[in-house]
Amino acid sequence: MANGKQTHVVAVSLPKELFRDLEALRARLFRKRSEMVKEAVREYVERFRRAEHATYAAVREAAIPYDDEPLTARDRRAIRRAKAEIRRGDYITLDELNRRYGYVAPRRSKKRP
């Protein structure tokens, strides 16, 4: 270990097309494969943390008022923060959330004529 940091070796299986994409990008950027994978994992973990934090913060802060209740100052602040997060791209889609937690929508049965 040249830099004195501890590391773990991880073997990963990739679909052929994803591996080809990784190799093409790696060659174009003149980077090592392990650097590319480390960066991708680091970015994914950070994205998850940001999304998780934003989700929990939004749930804690933004109680949905009834139609006849005016928005409070706290509600308006939470809405402004949420809109800013969306503009920055700090969000995940419902499909991403469902995939992350393994949710599979129940299949609808076909209606009989």
- What Rg, from alpha-carbon coordinates, does the chain have? 21
Full-model pTM: 0.45
Beta-carbon-side half-sphere exposure of residue 37 (alpha carbons within 13 Å): 12
Residue with tokens 């940091």: 5
Question: What phi and psi values does residue 101 have, to the nearest 5 degrees?
Answer: -100, 10
Distance CA 73, CA 28 (A): 50
Q: Which two tokens stand for residue 75?
A: 């509600």
Instruction: Give me the residue spans of the domains in the chain.
Output: 16-100
Condensed to tens digits (0 to 9), the pLDDT of residues 76-112 reads: 888 888 888 888 888 888 788 777 777 776 776 666 6
